[in-house]
Amino acid sequence: MTARRWVYDFDQALPSDQDDPRALLGGKGASLAEMTRAGLAVPHGFTITTACCARYFESGRTWPDGLADEVREHMARLERTAQRPFAQGDRPLLVAVHRGATVSMPGMMDTILNCGLGDDGRTPEADPWAALERSITAVFESWLSDRAVAYRRRDGITDLAGTAVNVQMMFPSEVSGVVFTVDPNAPDSQQMIIEASYGLGESVVLGDVTPDRYTATRDGAIAEREVGHKAHAVWPIGSTPRKDPDAPSLTDAQVGELVELALRVEEHFGHPVDIEFGWAAGRFAVLQSRRIRGLDVARDVPIARTEEVARLRSLSDGRSKCWGIHNLSETLRFPTPLTWDIVRSYMTGDGGYGRMYRQLGYRPSQRVCDEGFLELICGRIFADPQRQAELFWDAMPLAYDMEAVKADISLLDSAPTKFDPHKADGRFLAHLPANLLSMIRVSRAMKRLGKKAGELFENEALPPFLAYVANRRSQDLSSLSDEQLLAELLSRRTRVLDEFAPASMLPGFFGGMAFEAMSTKLVHLMGPSDGSELSAELVLALDGDTTSSRTPSWPTSPAEKRLWTTSSPSTAIGARARWSWPLPGGARIRATSSRWSTACERSPDVRPPRSTPKANADRPRYIAPCLICWGNREAVASARR
């Protein structure tokens, strides 16, 4: 029986039963092997398989039997090819040890350059074989690093054996860079993009230099040249040439030669590629090649933009029209089609959002019941103020003052108040009695539900919903057909978003109203900045507030105070029910982190509470002196009551 191989040279044939080279050699290793066999200028090297990485972890993080011997065998071949000994002499052979998973995971795993070079960066390693073993092991270990595991979990990357390891001769680049055989930003321009700088590629990757940028035609002519300032360079060992940092790193002839090489790589793979290259001793080398991804999207952008502009013009009926960004855009950035269908249905007058408004006595128009008031524009969620105005009372000639909305989009968080005579048609008079009655009902419903919305939610809405969730969690969805799965999705949407959501939103609705009322009074008393900040602090760490654990506590030491006032991040405050449904009209409640500078300067007794639930009892004690320092004893008496 043939022993299992762990290592393959770039030019070595794979087993006949290996249908997918990427599964065995990883993406980078498979690409390097294919380019080598195609006769392209690739520095020699070998690949340790993904299966070897898996065996490493199965064996308790030890190298599998035979791996060390195979690595030495392939390193000996590299020495013969390079005609230089590994990490010995004045011109030692040095290698790069690259990761190479089956799927692209940029920057998630380790790469070691100049393996065989000592810590001083000038002389060879005392024990180069031990250094090579440590480097290979480091790449294996990086497969299970926190960032790599999190990346695979986020992107749903599963069922992979491990990472391959590519050991490749270091190419002593005097110039290095990248070439795109198609301009990613203008894929139909028939132009190529080249970026280049002196020395090895690290200076470009680390952002230490501004590389030269060439726009070239496919026949090698330079259409545009931008020369960067290249004051820093990482040179190969033993090489310290003097270069003009403001001179082009590539000549016109070299650009033409590079274009020709890049087109050969593109022709071989049959699709546009981006290529990492190096130039040394009068020749170019291909260090890596990848498919340029996203070109189909880039080509679709102009078409999609034209179609979207035409759609918006049709929605505006030839008149000036404005849409306002909705707060759902903060939590649902670029929703998928399925998500958008569900959310848009929920936000209609007949969906859960509209049902809450109808429970309060409002009468959404038929258009809002059918279409809602949201639009997906270029992937972001916007509100149509004209339709949103119809969320409250059908046929009432009320509208938003659009000039005021353009100046303050938060006006969309409340009902419209501007009388629009153009909407006062015959329907207005016919519906006026019903709408007046509706307004009376809204006022009564607000008073009635405002007192017991939380109690109704906790005692009547939540228990059966939790029972429903527990029942559905035990359901085996894998046995359902496509039709049954779709029916189950629609059933769950109805139960969660149409039936449960209205009850869960009411506490947040009234909480938002209370917050706005409190904030208005404090802003009137203390001014916009300090009033808003005090309002935000007062609702931090209330019972059930899930944001308090991430909120920094009030500093006590001078050092903490300096840190707080100079670097504390903004804190989003949500006066919502714990289920985080939107506030009325899609309200935004946001405040910056509290500084309290003016109040503390006026009164040393003013001490904001720490942002923890147990500080709630301390709040009445410090609210009074805070308001006193602003000179309003009437407000103090109100606060104490």
Confidence of residue 637 (pLDDT cuts 50, 70, 90): low
- Could you give the CA distance from residue 191 to residue 231 in angstroms, rounded to a whole number? 28
Supply the DSSP symbol for 185: T
Separation of CA 177 from chain center: 27
- Asked whether the predicted pLDDT for residue 552 surpasses 50, the reply is no
- Could you give the CA distance from residue 47 to residue 49 in angstroms, rounded to a whole number? 6
Residues 6+ apart with CB under 8 A from 609: 537, 541, 554, 615, 616, 618, 619, 622
Confidence of residue 544 (pLDDT cuts 50, 70, 90): low
- Asked whether the predicted pLDDT for residue 395 surpasses 80, the reply is no
Phi/psi at 290 (5° precision)? -135, 155
* pTM given for the model: 0.60
pLDDT of residue 522: 84
Residues 6+ apart with CB under 8 A from 248: 212, 225, 227
Q: Where are the beta strands (DSSP E) in 239-370?
A: 273-280, 283-291, 324-325
CA–CA–CA angle 42, 47, 53 (5° rounding): 150
Task: Choose among 162, 175, 148, 189: nearest CA to 272.
Answer: 189
Q: What is the mean pLDDT of residues 358-376?
A: 91
pLDDT of residue 346: 94
pLDDT digits (tens, 9 = 90+) for 60-86: 999 999 999 999 999 999 999 999 999
Sort 184 into a burial class: Cβ within 10 Å, 0-12 / 13-18 / 19+: middle
Q: Give the number of other CB atoms < 10 A from CB of residue 291.
A: 15
pLDDT of residue 91: 85
Q: What is the mean pLDDT of residues 377-383?
A: 91
User: Could you tell me which residues are beta bridge partners of residue 192?
Assistant: 216
Task: Choose among 89, 72, 50: nearest CA to 132.
Answer: 72
pLDDT of residue 254: 97
pLDDT of residue 202: 77
Task: Report in angstroms the alpha-carbon separations of 250 from 70, 426, 613.
Answer: 40, 76, 64
- Could you give the CA distance from residue 135 to residue 97 in angstroms, rounded to a whole number? 7
Q: In order of start, what are the domains of the chain with their CATH numbers? A: 7-169 (3.30.1490.20), 175-296 (3.30.470.20), 322-502 (no CATH), 540-573+596-640 (no CATH)
